[in-house]
Structure 1
Amino acid sequence: MSSPQYETWPREELIARLRHLDATLASVDSHSRIVLPRRAEARRPRKFDISSYPRRKIALKFCYSGWEYNGLVFQSDKTRRPTVEGTLYNALSECKLIDGAAGPQACGWERCGRTDVGVSSASQVISLWVRSNIGQGETPSHIEGATKSSVDVVENVQKITDSDFPAPDPDSELPQLDASEIETAPPAPVLADDGQKQELRYVTIINRVLPPSIRILAWSPVSTSFSSRFSCLHRHYKYFFSPNGLDLDAMRDAAARLVGEHDFRNLCKLDAAKQITNFRRRIIRTNIRPASILGDDVVTSNQPHMCVLDLVGTAFLYNQVRHIMAILFLVGAGLEPPSVVTALLNADPERPEPPFREGEAPPELVTCKPEYQIADPLPLVLWECSYDEKDVKWQTDADGSENGGDAEVYTLYNQLSAIHARSLIHSTLDATFLKAASNFHPPPHNPFPIHPSSRDEYLRENSSMTLNVPLGGGMTHRAAARTYIPLLRRNRFAHVDIVNERWRKGKGERRAARRAEKLDADDE
């Protein structure tokens, strides 16, 4: 039956109709009621108590694109971009592998080494306690005496905020994951064919939540005393650069002087808050070699597209690799001799550096760091963190199926392969644009490398020239030839003892006072 066309009724008929309906409703039994279908109640999420599950200590090996993040380390202040650790911490919490509300210290969070804003890693390592199917179980033997706790976690970090968990970046060239793929509920225990519990698929579970710019590569069971920081035997950094206009032999000579134990106070950034007084570090190996853009393979071309500095050491100071690379660029350009590295390492009067080779003059004593700009962070990669084989046993989620492993492992490789292919396309397009521009704008004269023995004369004769001093990553420092000052004749920063003392009497005392006030308030 169709409804009456009330909009065509006269006013009197509408009033009569309403009165009829009122009379009809009044005759209905007041106790009767119309039962409407109940709205389905929203299912309440099951409360998850992580303390009721077994835990174990593991190490995670992962890679990340540093240009997507505001550095590796947790930051207590809000940052323009998320940090790598903040993103990873939130992903572990989302997967119910850790208690996210308890803070990093509650899970014993430790990193192998920090990387700064813009710096990437192909093999960073953290160690922590996570939820497990089987508990601690059998673990590799531990390094004797490695009992230090996680002292390198940022102080007063109670909870990682949502701002540390990155929303998809519309400017990113990396493929984004669909949020519907994220699993918030803990997965059911996995059973082997014999009915025994298998360990959680840590690689697969975490990668489903992480953005593509961070990928878990492998995990390892470790002993309760294992420390990703203090158990590391050595760290390997790579710095990729264009060899155009650089004297590679001179750079190799300069890099060779770094090998051994030296005082690197002139080749690092001083962080007075850490109150460091010992700047001696050991470099195990240095090497400068060609690198193919299609991968880290040695190429035989006389003009390689890229070169790489391999730098292996037991430990590194703040910005040490970027300071070293800045000096190597000056040497490669012919603006400084290789011997300048020996002089910069000759920082401690009580332990003077000898001449690097027979026939060289004793190096100048440089107790205070000269002023110079450090290299760009983009080409720097923490390549490998090495551990004793008895301490870690890296594994993935491969299940031994016919195709050689778990499908998620192949998905990981395909994701990274797709990112690599896209980067190669960008490189090819940029090269095409450069070639097109060269038809109208011929490349300017590159004065580098300048022969060191004739440097001063060359700069005097070409005083009107502007020097584009390389800083890596396509960045340069513009300087007029007539105003170039040799490194050892530049202004010097204050001595480290003065900088440390100034901080203790200023910011250090104010920080200590605030902590004392907080402790007094807590006691009350």
Structure 2
Amino acid sequence: MDRVFDALEKSKLIENRNECNFSVCGRTDRGVSGLCQVVSLVSRSLIARGVGVIEDSGSRISERQDVPDKEMDYVSALNRNLPRDIRVLAWSPISPDFSARFTCCKRSYEYYFPESGLDTKSMMDAGNRLVGVHDFRNFCTSRIEKDTVTFIREIFEVVISDVDSCDHHCKLCRISISASGFLYHQIRYVMSVLFMVGRGYESPSVIDDMLDLSKTPAKPHYHLAADFPLLFIAGTYPESCLNWETSEGMWIVASLYNKISSCSTRFGQTLSEIVVRIRNPVEILYFSLNDFYPNCFQISYCQKNVELC
């Protein structure tokens, strides 16, 4: 997010990155990418009142006689100061109590992997045992942050499917996982256990045993699955929270498509699946080639009036 903060500061949209109430929906590991990231922050505004505006917050707002009734073009302002491989597509005014992280009611991830003789039916059996409200302390890195007070999370769905765009030489699969939230490294540890099940080294019932703390009071040792095949797909919010606005959507989507299509990548099959996704201009907000996977984010914010210099 450093380059995003740099663009916000260069655009004079924030005064200080430490005081803009910044929040992000999917806090991914290094190497993990995202197709629909959402961030929220307090930003400068041109208008004096409206949804999300902190009224009378500008230093000399009361002295201005020419306060416009239309908001600035945040999309253009940010994209002018971002590298060519990073683009913002939309923004939304929000209420002061909105948080990209805590207002989110569902997060969805996908993990791509070659079938390579794996027993995907057994993996699906094991994955279904994760669905529901459980204590997932045996599926995460034990790093408790000040705002992490419980290991209990609710997983809504686990689905394994084929990637349609694959050729016949290497069948590619993806596992889609959605939940209320995830613990640190949770999905990567889940994938590590599922791979053990798929290879026949573990039974699907290992999931039940790991969720039962009376049977497994200490976390078993499993290697952490690779980060780069993991993709943050989207965060889901209450319908009334966001009203996205944009100005350059079609040009941005076209530029992203050309950027990805021109890349020679060792993950071509996975990339071709992602290219199909970005043809929908509503889904893509932020792009950065990160180990040949695209990132994207939507930006929402609470406006703050500040006199323009």
Q: How does 1:149-188 map to 2 (within 5 A)?
A: none
Q: How does 1:353-432 map to 2 (within 5 A)?
A: 365-397=215-247, 408-423=248-263
Q: Look up the equivalent residue of 1:366 and give its one-letter code.
A: T
Shift of 1:136: 4.6
Shift of 1:200: 1.4
Identify the residue that residue 47 of structure 2 maps to in structure 1.
134
Identify the residue that residue 312 of structure 1 maps to in structure 2.
178
Runs of 5+ unmatched residues, structure 1: 1-84, 141-190, 295-300, 350-364, 398-407, 430-472, 474-524
C-alpha contact 2:111 2:176 (8 A) present in aligned 1: yes
Give distance in 1, aligned partners of 2:258 and 2:121.
Answer: 36
Give distance in 2, aligned partners of 1:412 and 1:343.
Answer: 48
The DSSP-based 3-state class of the residue aligned with 1:214 is: coil
2:241 pairs with 1:328: no
The DSSP-based 3-state class of the residue aligned with 1:217 is: coil
Q: Look up the equivalent residue of 2:261 and give its one-letter code.
A: A
Give distance in 1, aligned partners of 2:263 and 2:117.
Answer: 25
Higher relative contact order (CA 8 A, sep 6+): 2
Shift of 1:426: 5.7
Match of 1:284 among 156, 161, 164: 156
Aligned in 2, Cα 1:128/1:203: closer, same or farther, shift over 3 Å?
Answer: same
Match of 1:249 among 82, 98, 121: 121
Aligned in 2, Cα 1:428/1:346: closer, same or farther, shift over 3 Å?
Answer: closer
Match of 1:124 among 25, 32, 37: 37
CA RMSD for the aligned pairs? 2.7
Cα deviation digits, residues 454-482 of structure 1 (max 9, x gap): xxxxxxxxxxxxxxxxxxx9xxxxxxxxx
Cα deviation digits, residues 24-46 of structure 1 (max 9, x gap): xxxxxxxxxxxxxxxxxxxxxxx
Q: How does 1:495-510 map to 2 (within 5 A)?
A: none
The structure having more radius of gyration, on CA atoms, is 1
Shift of 1:279: 1.1
Identify the residue that residue 233 of structure 1 maps to in structure 2.
105
Give distance in 2, aligned partners of 1:281 and 1:425.
Answer: 35
C-alpha contact 2:46 2:68 (8 A) present in aligned 1: no
Give distance in 2, aligned partners of 1:344 and 1:390.
Answer: 38
Shift of 1:293: 4.1
Q: How does 1:435-446 map to 2 (within 5 A)?
A: none
Q: Look up the equivalent residue of 1:383 and give its one-letter code.
A: I
Cα deviation digits, residues 206-247 of structure 1 (max 9, x gap): 122212443213211111111111111111111111112111
Runs of at least 4 residues off by over 4 Å: 272-277, 301-304, 424-429
Name the % identity: 37
Cα deviation digits, residues 162-218 of structure 1 (max 9, x gap): xxxxxxxxxxxxxxxxxxxxxxxxxxxxx9xxx964221112221222124432132
Give distance in 2, aligned partners of 1:257 and 1:210.
Answer: 43
Q: Look up the equivalent residue of 2:177 and give its one-letter code.
A: L
Paired residues, what number? 258
Identify the residue that residue 95 of structure 1 maps to in structure 2.
11
Shift of 1:427: 5.4
Identify the residue that residue 215 of structure 1 maps to in structure 2.
87
The DSSP-based 3-state class of the residue aligned with 2:37 is: strand
Match of 1:114 among 3, 27, 46: 27
Cα deviation digits, residues 477-520 of structure 1 (max 9, x gap): xxxxxxxxxxxxxxxxxxxxxxxxxxxxxxxxxxxxxxxxxxxx
2:60 pairs with 1:224: no
Cα deviation digits, residues 124-183 of structure 1 (max 9, x gap): 11111111221451359xxxxxxxxxxxxxxxxxxxxxxxxxxxxxxxxxxxxxxxxxxx
Shift of 1:323: 0.5
Give distance in 2, aligned partners of 1:428 and 1:114.
Answer: 26
Larger fraction in helix: 1
Give distance in 1, aligned partners of 2:148 and 2:240.
Answer: 32
Runs of 5+ unmatched residues, structure 2: 54-65, 270-290, 292-309
The DSSP-based 3-state class of the residue aligned with 2:81 is: coil
The DSSP-based 3-state class of the residue aligned with 1:326 is: helix
Aligned in 2, Cα 1:272/1:231: closer, same or farther, shift over 3 Å?
Answer: closer
Shift of 1:278: 2.3
C-alpha contact 1:286 1:310 (8 A) present in aligned 2: yes
Aligned in 2, Cα 1:425/1:224: closer, same or farther, shift over 3 Å?
Answer: closer
